[in-house]
Structure 1
Amino acid sequence: MSGIFERVAALGVVPVIAIEDVAHAVPLADALLEGGLGIAEITFRTKAAAEVIAQLSAERPELLTGAGTLLSPEQVTAAAQAGATFGLAPGFDPAVVSAAAAAGLPFAPGVMTPSDISLATAQGCRLMKFFPAVPAGGPSMLKNISAPFAHLGLKFVPTGGVTLATVADWLALPEIAAVGGTWIARTEDMRNGDWKGIATRARAAVDRVKEIRG
Structure 2
Amino acid sequence: MNAMNEAISNIGVVPVIKLNHPERDAAALANALCEGGVPVAEVTFRAAGAATAIKLMSQAQPDMLVGAGTVLTTGQVDEALAAGAKFIVTSGLDPDIVKYCQAKGVPVYPGCSSATDYHTAFKLGLEVVKFFPAEQCGGLAKIKALSAPFPMFKVMPTGGISLKNLKDYLSCPVICACGGSYMVTADLIDNQKWDEIINLCRESVAIVKQVRGNG
Shift of 1:62: 2.0
Give 3-state SS (helix, strand or coil) of 2:43's partner.
strand
Instruction: Assess if the C-alpha contact under 8 Å between 2:157 and 2:178 holds in 1.
Output: yes
Shift of 1:58: 2.3
Instruction: Assess if the C-alpha contact under 8 Å between 1:77 and 1:103 holds in 2.
Output: no
Give 3-state SS (helix, strand or coil) of 2:168's partner.
helix
2:83 pairs with 1:87: no
Shift of 1:14: 0.5
Partner residue in 1 for 2:98: 97
CA distance in 1, matches of 2:2, 2:85: 14
Give the CA RMSD over aligned residues.
1.0
The residue type equivalent to 1:172 in the other structure is: S
2:51 pairs with 1:30: no
Give 3-state SS (helix, strand or coil) of 1:19's partner.
coil
The residue type equivalent to 2:154 in the other structure is: K
Partner residue in 2 for 1:119: 120
2:208 pairs with 1:209: yes
Q: Structure 1 stretches of 5 or more lacking a match? A: none
Shift of 1:108: 0.8
Deviation digits for residues 70-113 of structure 1 (CA, Å, limit 9, x no counterpart): 11111111111111111111110011112211222100111000
2:149 pairs with 1:148: yes
CA distance in 2, matches of 1:158, 1:103: 25
Deviation digits for residues 141-197 of structure 1 (CA, Å, limit 9, x no counterpart): 1100121011xx211100000111111211121111000011011122111111111
Instruction: Assess if the C-alpha contact under 8 Å between 1:127 and 1:157 holds in 2.
Output: yes
CA distance in 2, matches of 1:107, 1:61: 20
Q: Report matched runs for 1:134-213 at 5 Å.
A: 134-150=135-151, 153-213=152-212
CA distance in 1, matches of 2:172, 2:63: 29
**TM-score normalised by structure 2 residue count:** 0.95
The residue type equivalent to 2:3 in the other structure is: G
Give 3-state SS (helix, strand or coil) of 1:208's partner.
helix
CA distance in 1, matches of 2:186, 2:97: 26
Aligned length: 212
**TM-score normalised by structure 1 residue count:** 0.96
CA distance in 2, matches of 1:109, 1:125: 9
Shift of 1:30: 1.0
Between 108-117 and 71-80, the greater mean CA deviation after superposition:
71-80
Between 36-45 and 95-104, the greater mean CA deviation after superposition:
95-104
Give 3-state SS (helix, strand or coil) of 1:14's partner.
strand
Percent of pairs with identical residues:
40
2:68 pairs with 1:55: no
Instruction: Assess if the C-alpha contact under 8 Å between 1:2 and 1:106 holds in 2.
Output: no
The residue type equivalent to 2:143 in the other structure is: L
Q: Structure 2 stretches of 5 or more lacking a match? A: none
Partner residue in 2 for 1:17: 17
